[in-house]
Structure 1
Amino acid sequence: MDCSDQKIRTQNPRGKAGLFNILLFKYAFNIIYTGTRRNLKMDDIYEVLPNFEASQLYSRMTQEWQKELKTSKNPSIFKIFLRMFGWEFALWGIGIFIAVLFIGDMAHTIVMGKFMTYFEPGTNVTLKEALLYASGLIGAKVVVQLYDNTYLLAVWSIGLRMQIACNTMVYRKCLRLNSKNQNNHGRAVTIITKDIAQLLTVADCAHMLLIGFPKFFVMLYIMYTYIGVSALAGAAIVMATVPVNALLGILISKYRLKTAAQTDQRVKITQEMLTAMRIIKMHTWEKFFSNTIDKRRGKEMKILRIVYYLKAVVFAIGQLSYRFAFYVCVLTYVALGNHVTAEKAFVIIGCFGAFESLLTDYMPNGIPQMAEYKASLLRITNFLMLEEVPTPLSGDIHNSIDRTIDLKGATVTTEGATVLAGISLNVSGGLTVVAGPTGSVAKLTFAAKYLMRPKNRGYFLPQYAKT
């Protein structure tokens, strides 16, 4: 809801924070310190940053949505997000690619191998060189951690802005929906509480998947330079899990859509039950509605169980393939008559440590999550494509002197069932009461849904204000 009386708050220190301030989160120290001394109050909350304001995000997304409707036969929220946040997403992705791959994995693994050669008998590495290697290991960790925390806040901020824009779009859409019997408002509740809520981590998840495969080939090359063709034995096992995870991700997306449909139906029945609570109590229908909701919830949980089984299989594949690939790689290297040194052992461990994040985190979590994100964006897009109430032909219908509703032989069919047939009447301006037995279809359908529903047969002649 819009509110003209807005409270002026303290300026957000993040808006003018410098680079050093941002890296160390110094701008958040004051509010954290206040929270340690007492409970935070509304007066302690800073002013919302301009790029997080719902009005600006809604205005930008509305413009992009209208552009998408005009230029594309199949509008997509994903394309809109790319235009709104694409450059920011790409810049942070390049930064995390350099920090994680070149500093966190590649440099750290090579330097660790050089450092461990100092402890081998008869080594040529001096103490000074060993200290330099140790300093390099510490420096790499510090750089990665400093950047990683700032990166997570930045990409989650992108997800938060996606949430704000989509929530506002869905809310405004609800105000313009017609009353077709498709449980539109129940769908809106599910979309806001489940689909949009998942968008917070979408940017981070996408980056991890994009980084994962280049990381795999870089670390494979490093292993190849140390142990030769033996590295390919472990890599083959790792690559064999990729199509399996992709297939499971497709299945998860499919069942995610089915789960959302069951949730919509359950929310619809619950809303109808709460709305008609007096009638339910009067006719003692509590048991019937309770059983109906239980059945809907049971169907929903049945599909959810399949989704979580699939996720567990993906996670198990990642955990087992990482360890099995490392075992096969070392076994192959020794079987070829080679000797494992400390440097080679720690390089292989470091490379498979990078593989571990790919196999136990990026693919098991990333692929199912991206499948769910895809399903969520599809549901949001379909909701925004729903039919809206037509705009009146005149400016102000409330000032009309002669207002009538004229129906001639109208018939309405909803979901294959005829709810009104052969209705002809003329309603003049003023209060008109449609009477009928308690819960009658005629009173409910006519009073709540008829005026905005397309007719199968007959005519509806609205009288708008005269200009």
Structure 2
Amino acid sequence: MGDTVASPRHFSPDDDDDDCVLCTPIVLDVDRDVFSVATSLLLHSNISLSSRRSPQAYENRTRPGNGHPHANGGPANRGPANGNLVICQMAIWLGPFFRLGHKKIIEEEDLYPVLPEDRSGTLGEDLQRRWDEECLKASKKQRDPSFAKAIIRCYRKSYAWLGLITFIVEVIRIIQPVLLGKLLEYFEAYQYDDALDPKPAYLYATGISLSVLTLMVILHLFLFKLQSNGMRIRVALSHMIYKKALRLSSSATAQTTTGQIVNLLSTDVNKFDELSIFLHYLWVGPLNVVVVVALLWSVIGPSCLAGCVVLLFQMPLQSLSGKLFSKFSREMAVLTDSRILTMNEVVSGIRIIKMYAWEKPFAALVSAVRQEEVSKVMNGSYLRAFNMAFSFSASKLIVFITFSIYVTLGNIITASRVFYTVALYNSLRRTATLFFPAAIEKLFECRVSVQRIQTFLMLEDVKTQHAVLNKDQEPSVDIQDLICYWDTNQDMPSLQNISLTVKAQQLLAVIGPVGAGKSSLLSAILGELPHDKGVLKVKGQLTYASQQPWVFPGTIRSNILFGKEMNPSKYDHVIWACALKRDMELLQDGDMTLIGDRGATLSGGQKARVNLARAVYQDADIYLLDDPLSAVDAEVGRHLFE
């Protein structure tokens, strides 16, 4: 989470201008021993040079409408959003997709586009708005904000409807054994009186068939909606965590690690997928117990209370298990963060470890952390195994105890009573001994995850004071008597008594030895380094090229555009000015060459120029370039300067 991550958060909003006009202050960091005075680049709108091949040609290779399956009746036009209600609800729209998979290997362009209501931007911004409202209310009432309340306010309506459907499903499941019991009573009576009217039997059989058919129709759709709601929460949380990671201040970055953020995105957000399925059984489960006990009382009398005692003993036991699950999950999450942090440090320093033959000590260190984590996982697994074993055996134990007492009281067991009682207890087995305990377990796990996510979201953001300029305003940087500390506990400030003023159309080079504070000055202007005293005013949008070149997995073009719209004229200007034209000619696919983890390997100088081109292509008012020429040779550096 260093400078490379900070790059994208300081880019200006999109601009439709075709001209490449970079006529604003440029502040850069220069090391004396590298290139005497490293310089920056001013591109004016009158520069007009073209690259070897037109960037438009590259765009045509991936643009829909040029062999792209979504352009002419492809999967994008047959997705769930374009079908009628029956097709959407019955998932008939998957038929063409399966036929396509039978004919060929499914590729990314064959997949259906994401529905508008499921896009991360829509979901994330909605939850972010609720979280901002909760933070505002908490500040007014002088209390700590609750991220759980924000989630509840955001999704309570959709979950309320799903709760109603859950109730209907459980009512149908209870109706089935009731009708089955009535049908068996009819056949028992039919043995002694074959003149009975058959209509009640037909009605009971029809009711059983209709209830089964109704469950078959709505149950899978209901589960799909439950999982979709969990997916939406997971996507919204991932969106918020990712955006928060890009806004963290330097002091906040020191309080977290990459491993913790990865753990939040890979583990904690997934808890909501599981909770969504069982959540409503927290209230449907106890209600189901009350209704089933009442029905059992009407059939076998007080004998059903013996089974209820076992159930009453089981529910507090499940609550205790949920609390223990919460404890183990919290401890396991901390140990997982520690293990990932240790592994990251070992991997980053593997060269030194191999050089000094420290493999065994560090392997032992990682193994020790892993053993602690595994011990917590084992404790949770033992508890889960006990929980599941008790849940499966409880229903059979309840039936045994119930009929033992029923016979002891002098009653006669009949087939209708046995089937009726067993069917009702099976209904309890799903809700009271399976779904209700699972709901408690997942709720406590989600509680831990919500607390961890809230702690991360409460970290300090970068304080940006970069005002958007009006047409008659000019960009500027004004610093007076600036004092900054990377760590407030340190006695010596990182920057002390810095004063400078940079106006439009000016180029400023900051020169100094290693450790003089050149990068710290840029960090202060970016808002990464909070200032303790002094005045810092920045007018205009910023873009930043870090000292450590950074590229992400993708094409060279995507690294340069960085989400911007393709402007061929401007793109050609940037390619030429950053001395990338010759490199594009040498690469087989030009700027469409894949780079990163599984792509072509770029040299340090090429990475530096791609990093510089990314910053130059942005429509910003102020360009901050941190030692951009340290990785290039003298000839290329002269070209960039001139």
Query: TM-score of the superposition, structure 1-length normalised?
Result: 0.85
- Per the alignment, residue 423 of structure 2 pairs with 350
Q: Please give the alpha-carbon distance, in whole angstroms, between the structure 2 residues aligned to 1:123 and 1:404.
A: 105
Aligned residues: 449
Instruction: Write out aligned runs for 1:345-384 (5 A).
Output: 345-384=418-457
RMSD: 3.5
Q: Given residue 347 of structure 2, which amino acid in structure 1 is its aligned partner? A: L
Is 1:80 aligned to residue 150 of structure 2?
A: yes
Q: Given residue 157 of structure 2, which amino acid in structure 1 is its aligned partner? A: W
Q: Please give the alpha-carbon distance, in whole angstroms, between the structure 1 residues aligned to 2:206 and 2:342.
A: 63
Q: Please give the alpha-carbon distance, in whole angstroms, between the structure 1 residues aligned to 2:389 and 2:319.
A: 14
SS at match of 2:270: helix
1:187 aligned residue (260, 282, 290): 260
Instruction: Write out aligned runs for 1:23-422 (5 A).
Output: 23-72=89-138, 73-98=143-168, 100-105=169-174, 107-120=175-188, 121-122=191-192, 127=198, 129-180=200-251, 181-392=254-465, 412=487, 421-422=491-492
Q: Looking at CA atoms only, which structure, 1 or 2, has the larger radius of gyration? A: 2
Q: Please give the alpha-carbon distance, in whole angstroms, between the structure 2 residues aligned to 1:195 and 1:394.
A: 36
Q: Displacement, 1:404?
A: 9.1
CA contact (8 A) 2:466 2:539 kept: no
Change (3 A) 1:7 1:196: farther
Change (3 A) 1:349 1:89: same
Q: Please give the alpha-carbon distance, in whole angstroms, between the structure 1 residues aligned to 2:374 and 2:353.
A: 26
- Per the alignment, residue 86 of structure 2 pairs with 20
Q: Given residue 149 of structure 1, which amino acid in structure 2 is its aligned partner? A: H
CA contact (8 A) 1:311 1:364 kept: no
SS at match of 1:228: helix
Change (3 A) 1:368 1:301: same
- Per the alignment, residue 439 of structure 1 pairs with none
CA contact (8 A) 1:183 1:264 kept: no
Q: Displacement, 1:112?
A: 0.7
Percent identity over the alignment?
25
Q: CA-to-partner distance for each residue in 1:66-119, whole Å, 9 max, x for gaps?
A: 101001223223222222221111112212211x222122x1011111222344
Change (3 A) 1:179 1:265: farther
Q: CA-to-partner distance for each residue in 1:409-430, whole Å, 9 max, x for gaps?
A: x7947xxxx8x55467658962
Q: Given residue 81 of structure 1, which amino acid in structure 2 is its aligned partner? A: I
* Greater share of residues in helix: 1
1:430 aligned residue (495, 510, 525): 510
Q: Displacement, 1:370?
A: 1.4
SS at match of 1:430: strand
Q: Displacement, 1:52?
A: 0.5
CA contact (8 A) 1:118 1:126 kept: no
Q: CA-to-partner distance for each residue in 1:305-359, whole Å, 9 max, x for gaps?
A: 2122222222222223222111111111111111112211111011111111124
Q: Please give the alpha-carbon distance, in whole angstroms, between the structure 2 residues aligned to 1:395 and 1:23.
A: 47
Give the unaligned 5+ runs of structure 1.
Answer: 437-441
CA contact (8 A) 2:231 2:272 kept: yes
Change (3 A) 1:297 1:71: same
Q: Displacement, 1:385?
A: 0.6
Change (3 A) 1:229 1:66: same
Give the unaligned 5+ runs of structure 2.
Answer: 1-7, 15-58, 65-69, 71-75, 470-474, 501-508, 541-642
Q: Given residue 115 of structure 2, which amino acid in structure 1 is its aligned partner? A: L
